[in-house]
Amino acid sequence: MSDDNKQQPMDLLAKGASELGLRLSPAQLEQFDLYYREMADWNQRVNLTSITERDAVQIKHFLDSLTICLAYPQGMPPTLRIVDIGAGAGFPGLPLKLAFPHIRLLMVESVGKKARFLEHIVEQLGVTDVEVMTGRAEDLARHPILRERFDLALGRGVAKMPVLLEYTLPYCVVGGRLVVLNHQSAQRDFPAAARALKALGGRMGEIYKVGISGLTDDRIVAVIHKVAPTPSAYPRQAGVPAKRPL
Protein backbone atom coordinates (compact mmCIF):
# COMPACT_ATOMS: atom_id res chain seq x y z
CA MET A 1 0.00 0.00 0.00
CA SER A 2 1.43 3.39 -0.98
CA ASP A 3 2.00 6.10 1.60
CA ASP A 4 -0.73 8.24 0.00
CA ASN A 5 -3.31 5.47 0.51
CA LYS A 6 -2.53 5.01 4.19
CA GLN A 7 -4.68 6.84 6.66
CA GLN A 8 -2.78 9.93 7.68
CA PRO A 9 -3.73 12.78 9.99
CA MET A 10 -5.08 15.93 8.39
CA ASP A 11 -2.16 17.90 9.83
CA LEU A 12 -2.10 20.68 7.24
CA LEU A 13 -5.84 21.16 7.62
CA ALA A 14 -5.58 21.23 11.41
CA LYS A 15 -2.80 23.85 11.28
CA GLY A 16 -4.62 26.07 8.82
CA ALA A 17 -7.89 25.77 10.71
CA SER A 18 -6.16 26.88 13.91
CA GLU A 19 -5.05 30.04 12.10
CA LEU A 20 -8.73 30.67 11.39
CA GLY A 21 -9.44 30.27 15.10
CA LEU A 22 -10.97 26.81 14.63
CA ARG A 23 -10.00 23.76 16.65
CA LEU A 24 -10.87 20.56 14.84
CA SER A 25 -11.20 17.57 17.17
CA PRO A 26 -9.58 14.20 16.39
CA ALA A 27 -13.04 12.89 15.46
CA GLN A 28 -13.56 15.76 13.03
CA LEU A 29 -10.15 15.20 11.47
CA GLU A 30 -11.02 11.52 11.04
CA GLN A 31 -14.17 12.59 9.19
CA PHE A 32 -12.13 14.80 6.88
CA ASP A 33 -9.74 11.91 6.27
CA LEU A 34 -12.63 9.60 5.39
CA TYR A 35 -14.02 12.31 3.10
CA TYR A 36 -10.67 12.51 1.31
CA ARG A 37 -10.34 8.75 0.86
CA GLU A 38 -13.89 8.29 -0.43
CA MET A 39 -13.53 11.21 -2.81
CA ALA A 40 -10.23 9.88 -4.17
CA ASP A 41 -11.82 6.47 -4.71
CA TRP A 42 -14.91 7.82 -6.47
CA ASN A 43 -12.80 10.19 -8.55
CA GLN A 44 -11.42 7.20 -10.42
CA ARG A 45 -14.92 6.65 -11.86
CA VAL A 46 -16.58 10.07 -11.64
CA ASN A 47 -14.89 13.35 -12.51
CA LEU A 48 -15.26 15.11 -9.17
CA THR A 49 -12.04 17.13 -8.99
CA SER A 50 -8.67 17.54 -10.69
CA ILE A 51 -7.04 18.02 -7.27
CA THR A 52 -6.52 14.60 -5.70
CA GLU A 53 -3.19 14.66 -3.83
CA ARG A 54 -3.74 14.53 -0.07
CA ASP A 55 -1.84 17.66 0.91
CA ALA A 56 -3.40 19.68 -1.91
CA VAL A 57 -6.91 18.54 -0.98
CA GLN A 58 -6.34 19.57 2.64
CA ILE A 59 -5.37 23.10 1.59
CA LYS A 60 -7.13 23.84 -1.69
CA HIS A 61 -10.44 22.14 -0.93
CA PHE A 62 -10.94 21.63 2.81
CA LEU A 63 -9.15 24.66 4.24
CA ASP A 64 -10.27 26.96 1.43
CA SER A 65 -13.87 25.98 2.21
CA LEU A 66 -13.41 26.82 5.89
CA THR A 67 -12.28 30.39 5.09
CA ILE A 68 -15.99 31.18 4.75
CA CYS A 69 -15.96 31.61 8.52
CA LEU A 70 -14.05 34.88 7.93
CA ALA A 71 -17.38 36.33 6.79
CA TYR A 72 -18.63 35.87 10.38
CA PRO A 73 -16.09 37.67 12.59
CA GLN A 74 -18.34 37.16 15.64
CA GLY A 75 -18.63 33.42 14.97
CA MET A 76 -20.86 31.23 12.82
CA PRO A 77 -24.50 31.53 14.03
CA PRO A 78 -25.69 28.30 15.68
CA THR A 79 -28.86 28.00 13.56
CA LEU A 80 -27.37 28.84 10.16
CA ARG A 81 -29.24 27.43 7.14
CA ILE A 82 -26.89 27.04 4.17
CA VAL A 83 -27.45 26.25 0.50
CA ASP A 84 -24.46 25.22 -1.63
CA ILE A 85 -25.21 25.72 -5.34
CA GLY A 86 -23.32 23.52 -7.80
CA ALA A 87 -21.87 21.54 -4.90
CA GLY A 88 -19.83 19.15 -7.07
CA ALA A 89 -17.72 17.09 -4.69
CA GLY A 90 -19.21 18.96 -1.73
CA PHE A 91 -17.07 22.09 -1.54
CA PRO A 92 -17.46 24.37 0.29
CA GLY A 93 -20.63 23.26 2.07
CA LEU A 94 -19.68 19.84 3.41
CA PRO A 95 -16.34 20.86 4.97
CA LEU A 96 -18.25 23.65 6.74
CA LYS A 97 -20.72 21.07 8.04
CA LEU A 98 -17.89 18.92 9.40
CA ALA A 99 -16.31 21.91 11.14
CA PHE A 100 -19.63 23.35 12.37
CA PRO A 101 -21.93 20.36 13.01
CA HIS A 102 -24.83 22.57 14.13
CA ILE A 103 -25.48 24.10 10.70
CA ARG A 104 -28.18 22.83 8.34
CA LEU A 105 -27.02 22.24 4.78
CA LEU A 106 -28.64 21.75 1.38
CA MET A 107 -26.35 20.81 -1.52
CA VAL A 108 -27.73 21.43 -5.01
CA GLU A 109 -26.05 19.57 -7.88
CA SER A 110 -27.34 19.21 -11.45
CA VAL A 111 -25.06 16.29 -12.44
CA GLY A 112 -26.57 12.99 -11.29
CA LYS A 113 -23.27 11.14 -10.77
CA LYS A 114 -21.93 13.92 -8.56
CA ALA A 115 -25.18 14.06 -6.61
CA ARG A 116 -24.93 10.31 -5.98
CA PHE A 117 -21.43 10.81 -4.59
CA LEU A 118 -22.76 13.52 -2.28
CA GLU A 119 -25.50 11.22 -1.02
CA HIS A 120 -22.90 8.47 -0.48
CA ILE A 121 -20.41 10.61 1.40
CA VAL A 122 -23.11 12.14 3.62
CA GLU A 123 -24.14 8.62 4.61
CA GLN A 124 -20.54 7.51 5.16
CA LEU A 125 -19.76 10.52 7.32
CA GLY A 126 -22.86 9.99 9.44
CA VAL A 127 -23.82 13.67 9.44
CA THR A 128 -27.38 14.86 9.98
CA ASP A 129 -29.35 17.91 8.79
CA VAL A 130 -27.80 17.57 5.33
CA GLU A 131 -29.86 17.16 2.15
CA VAL A 132 -28.83 16.65 -1.48
CA MET A 133 -31.07 17.78 -4.33
CA THR A 134 -30.42 16.98 -7.98
CA GLY A 135 -31.49 19.71 -10.39
CA ARG A 136 -30.74 23.07 -11.92
CA ALA A 137 -30.37 25.96 -9.49
CA GLU A 138 -32.74 28.09 -11.59
CA ASP A 139 -35.52 25.50 -11.38
CA LEU A 140 -35.19 24.63 -7.70
CA ALA A 141 -35.08 28.31 -6.67
CA ARG A 142 -38.75 28.57 -7.65
CA HIS A 143 -39.82 25.86 -5.23
CA PRO A 144 -41.74 27.44 -2.31
CA ILE A 145 -39.87 25.42 0.34
CA LEU A 146 -36.51 26.64 -1.00
CA ARG A 147 -37.07 30.19 -2.19
CA GLU A 148 -35.77 32.81 0.26
CA ARG A 149 -35.33 30.20 3.00
CA PHE A 150 -31.56 30.24 3.60
CA ASP A 151 -29.31 32.45 5.70
CA LEU A 152 -26.21 31.77 3.62
CA ALA A 153 -25.73 30.84 -0.03
CA LEU A 154 -22.49 29.46 -1.46
CA GLY A 155 -21.31 28.84 -5.01
CA ARG A 156 -17.63 28.02 -5.35
CA GLY A 157 -16.25 28.19 -8.89
CA VAL A 158 -19.73 28.02 -10.41
CA ALA A 159 -19.88 31.18 -12.56
CA LYS A 160 -18.84 34.81 -12.80
CA MET A 161 -20.48 37.22 -10.40
CA PRO A 162 -23.60 38.39 -12.31
CA VAL A 163 -24.55 34.80 -13.13
CA LEU A 164 -23.70 33.53 -9.65
CA LEU A 165 -25.92 36.21 -8.12
CA GLU A 166 -28.91 35.06 -10.16
CA TYR A 167 -28.24 31.44 -9.21
CA THR A 168 -27.96 32.10 -5.49
CA LEU A 169 -29.71 35.25 -4.20
CA PRO A 170 -33.24 33.90 -4.82
CA TYR A 171 -32.51 31.29 -2.14
CA CYS A 172 -31.47 33.85 0.50
CA VAL A 173 -33.77 35.37 3.11
CA VAL A 174 -33.74 39.14 3.37
CA GLY A 175 -30.94 39.73 5.87
CA GLY A 176 -29.06 36.69 4.61
CA ARG A 177 -25.93 36.69 2.50
CA LEU A 178 -23.99 35.15 -0.32
CA VAL A 179 -20.33 34.45 0.39
CA VAL A 180 -17.95 34.14 -2.56
CA LEU A 181 -14.46 32.62 -2.46
CA ASN A 182 -12.22 34.12 -5.13
CA HIS A 183 -8.92 35.86 -5.89
CA GLN A 184 -8.22 39.57 -5.50
CA SER A 185 -7.99 39.91 -9.27
CA ALA A 186 -11.70 39.01 -9.47
CA GLN A 187 -12.59 42.31 -7.79
CA ARG A 188 -12.20 44.11 -11.10
CA ASP A 189 -15.26 42.18 -12.31
CA PHE A 190 -17.40 43.20 -9.34
CA PRO A 191 -18.56 46.57 -10.81
CA ALA A 192 -20.11 44.66 -13.73
CA ALA A 193 -22.40 42.97 -11.19
CA ALA A 194 -24.02 46.25 -10.07
CA ARG A 195 -27.06 45.78 -12.31
CA ALA A 196 -27.58 42.20 -11.15
CA LEU A 197 -27.26 43.23 -7.50
CA LYS A 198 -29.94 45.92 -7.91
CA ALA A 199 -32.29 43.60 -9.82
CA LEU A 200 -31.95 40.69 -7.40
CA GLY A 201 -32.08 42.53 -4.08
CA GLY A 202 -28.39 42.37 -3.20
CA ARG A 203 -25.77 44.82 -1.97
CA MET A 204 -22.01 44.42 -2.11
CA GLY A 205 -20.59 44.03 1.38
CA GLU A 206 -17.32 43.31 3.07
CA ILE A 207 -14.23 41.80 1.46
CA TYR A 208 -11.82 39.85 3.68
CA LYS A 209 -8.29 38.97 2.65
CA VAL A 210 -7.20 35.40 3.37
CA GLY A 211 -3.82 35.14 5.12
CA ILE A 212 -3.65 31.44 5.99
CA SER A 213 -0.69 29.08 5.58
CA GLY A 214 -0.84 27.41 2.18
CA LEU A 215 -3.50 29.72 0.76
CA THR A 216 -1.00 32.20 -0.62
CA ASP A 217 -2.55 33.06 -3.99
CA ASP A 218 -4.19 36.37 -2.98
CA ARG A 219 -7.51 34.84 -1.98
CA ILE A 220 -10.46 36.86 -0.75
CA VAL A 221 -13.80 36.15 0.89
CA ALA A 222 -16.45 38.51 -0.49
CA VAL A 223 -19.84 39.07 1.15
CA ILE A 224 -23.02 40.08 -0.66
CA HIS A 225 -25.94 41.04 1.57
CA LYS A 226 -29.57 40.28 0.66
CA VAL A 227 -31.33 43.58 1.37
CA ALA A 228 -34.63 43.17 -0.52
CA PRO A 229 -36.78 40.31 -1.82
CA THR A 230 -35.83 38.93 -5.22
CA PRO A 231 -38.57 39.70 -7.79
CA SER A 232 -40.53 36.69 -8.99
CA ALA A 233 -39.10 37.08 -12.51
CA TYR A 234 -35.77 35.77 -11.22
CA PRO A 235 -34.06 33.47 -11.70
CA ARG A 236 -34.90 33.24 -15.36
CA GLN A 237 -35.37 29.88 -17.08
CA ALA A 238 -32.56 27.33 -16.82
CA GLY A 239 -29.65 28.27 -19.05
CA VAL A 240 -30.70 31.88 -19.61
CA PRO A 241 -28.59 33.50 -16.82
CA ALA A 242 -25.39 32.02 -18.25
CA LYS A 243 -26.27 32.97 -21.82
CA ARG A 244 -27.54 36.47 -21.04
CA PRO A 245 -26.08 37.68 -17.72
CA LEU A 246 -27.84 40.60 -16.08
Beta bridge partners of residue 109, listed in sequence order: 134
2 lies in a domain? no
Query: Do the domain assignments include residue 17?
Result: yes
Residue 95, in any domain of the structure: yes
- The 10s digit of each residue's pLDDT in 181-228 is 988 877 887 888 999 999 999 999 999 999 898 887 889 999 999 999
Q: What CATH number has the domain bearing residue 221?
A: 3.40.50.150
What is the domain extent for residue 36? Answer: 7-243
Examine residue 1 and state whether it is found in any structural domain, yes or no: no
- Residue 65 and residue 92: Cα distance in Å, rounded? 4
For the chain, the domain total comes to 1
Q: Using one digit for the tens of pLDDT, what is the confidence trace for 62-121?
A: 999 999 999 999 999 988 999 999 999 999 999 999 999 999 999 999 999 999 999 999
| Residue 113 maps to a domain | yes
Residue 98 in domain: yes
Would you say 98 and 61 are in contact if contact means Cβ atoms under 8 Å apart? no
Q: Residue 3: what pLDDT? A: 46
Residue 191 located in a structural domain: yes
Is 214 part of any domain?
A: yes
How confident is the model at residue 227, as a pLDDT? 98
Confidence of residue 1 (pLDDT cuts 50, 70, 90): very low
Pick the closest to residue 205 from 235, 183, 175, 185 (CA basis): 175
The band of 155, judged by pLDDT with boundaries at 50, 70 and 90, is: confident
